[in-house]
Amino acid sequence: MVLKELQNIFHIELDAIYGQHEVDSLFYLCTEYYLNIARIQLTLEPELAITKPETETFFKALEHLKQQQPIQYLLGETEFYGLPFKVNENVLIPRPETEELVDLIIKGHSQQNKVSKLKILDIGTGSGCIAISLVKNLPNAKVYALDISKEALKVAKQNAKLNNVEITFIEANIIEVAENSSLWEDVASREKGFLFDVIVSNPPYVRNLEKQEIKPNVLDNEPHLALFVDDDNPLVFYKAITDFAINNLKPKGHLYFEINQYLGEDTKQLLVDAKFKDVELLKDLNGNDRMLKGEKI
């Protein structure tokens, strides 16, 4: 079948769901992934044809896209901070806002990392996107990554291998660990007594009451364990991680969070109350309160 014809079928079937522009992007992602054919090649060779089995692969993808399954899960991979990441339904698909958080940390700690080997902990690592892009760009750093989900940690370990970096992975529930410091000593027993220079987290932060704002492709496909918190205690992870950071950051160590845009001031107040200094709420490229940082005194 001629690829251009196939592209037309994608438009007929999917434009109403995704819009024309997005459908082109989805189609080109498929041609790159399944056929290793770049967008430019398609433009230069409009009569380019593919075999029957290849066509069938596209029709299968089309069916999944019609059901609004995220293309990243379909292809099993995505890109984050210029690096490749495997993803499946056990991990959140890394978001551009999170790249901004990573960028903030890299810019803030590059110099420091040249003179001392930074110890960094990423809490709720999911695909490992934060931990892996940090160690890739702060090559001296020793990075630890924690998640409650065994299945997510499997993906993160695969991604560490794929990107050729060393990370120490920890399976733990941060809420329990924050409440009971002897638990942390158990999980981190091999490295007893050390403190971190940087703790970072993009924890679950979407309230159930915000569900109507979430697109069906996210709601139906991405892990709810990674996304949702109770309406009546939406900062549960921020509170636990701040408590944990008080005990496990070095003096002058830094805490970084990705946050719920609607809860910026409340989340900031948590750090202020915990006597962090230079607490700063930062906006993402869309102008929403999205990042929070503070320094332990």
Ligand X SMILES: C[S@@+](CC[C@H](N)C(=O)[O-])C[C@H]1O[C@@H](n2cnc3c(N)ncnc32)[C@H](O)[C@@H]1O
Taking CB under 6 A as the criterion, which residues in 219-248 touch ligand X? 225-226
Q: Which is nearer to ligand X, 51 or 247 (CB)?
A: 247
When the beta carbons of 72 and 113 are compared against ligand X, the nearer one is: 72
Asked if residue 129 binds ligand X (CB under 6 A), the reply is yes
User: Is residue 292 a contact residue for ligand X (CB under 6 A)?
Assistant: no
Does residue 134 bind ligand X (CB under 6 A)? no
83 binds ligand X (CB under 6 A): no
Residue 104 as a binder of ligand X (CB under 6 A): the answer is no
First-to-last C-alpha distance (Å) of the chain: 65
Nearer to ligand X by C-beta: 152 or 255?
A: 152
263 binds ligand X (CB under 6 A): no
72 binds ligand X (CB under 6 A): no
**Residues contacting 214, CB < 8 A, separation 6+:** 206, 227
The residue within the footprint of ligand X, chosen from 81, 199, 203, 259 (CB under 6 A), is 203
- Say how many residues touch ligand X, by CB under 6 A: 22
Cβ neighbours around 250 below 10 Å, total: 14
Place of tokens 């003179």: 115
Residues that bind ligand X (CB under 6 A): 92, 94, 98, 124-127, 129-130, 146-149, 152, 173-175, 202-204, 225-226
